[in-house]
């Protein structure tokens, strides 16, 4: 007589026994999920550290550049604009005053023969000799 075939033994083909092989697969997937979660949390931690280092480095670069804050720049810009308008007003006033003085007392200056401008002469500079190395 033949011995009965045991179905459900894990070494036999056609295994329908649900215990050991599925637990191994589930345990493997669970371990893989834990490793993936650990890697993601580590990467997010590294990302935060890298961002902090970059921010710190950029702050030090900006500090070394000796830049002014925006509010100070805007204040100086406004002062320069105000000074420019004041200067334009004063230029107009001076021009008006000069015009008044010119009309009121405009002495006529007579040109005499001895006040002619001298002619400019252009003299050529002597050519430079090329230097030869001394031995």
| CA distance to 4, 7, 8, 110, per residue, from 1 (Å) | 9, 18, 22, 153
Tokens of 79: 């002062």
Are 35 and 29 within 8 A, CB to CB? no
**Residue 96 to residue 89: CA distance in whole angstroms:** 11
Helix (H) or strand (E) holding 107: none
Each residue's pLDDT tens digit, 65-124: 888 889 999 999 999 999 999 999 999 999 999 999 987 765 555 555 555 555 555 555
Are 17 and 8 within 8 A, CB to CB? yes
Q: Across all residues in the chain, what is the average pLDDT?
A: 75
DSSP, residue by residue, 51-69: HHHHHHHHHHHHHHTTPPP
**Residue 59 to residue 110: CA distance in whole angstroms:** 70
pTM exceeds cut of 0.95: no
């Amino acid at each position: 007589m033949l011995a009965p075939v045991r179905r459900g033994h894990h070494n036999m083909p056609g295994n329908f026994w649900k215990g050991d092989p599925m637990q191994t697969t589930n345990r493997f997937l669970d371990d893989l999920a834990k490793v993936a979660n650990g890697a993601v949390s580590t990467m997010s931690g590294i990302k935060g550290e890298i961002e902090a280092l970059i921010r710190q480095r950029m702050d030090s670069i900006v500090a070394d550049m000796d830049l002014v804050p925006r509010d100070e720049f805007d204040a100086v810009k406004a002062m320069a604009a105000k000074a420019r308008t004041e200067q334009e007003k004063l230029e107009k006033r001076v021009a008006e005053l000069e015009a008044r003085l010119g009309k009121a007392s405009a002495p006529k200056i007579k040109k005499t023969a001895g006040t002619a401008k001298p002619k400019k002469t252009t003299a050529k500079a002597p050519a430079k000799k090329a230097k030869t190395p001394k031995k």
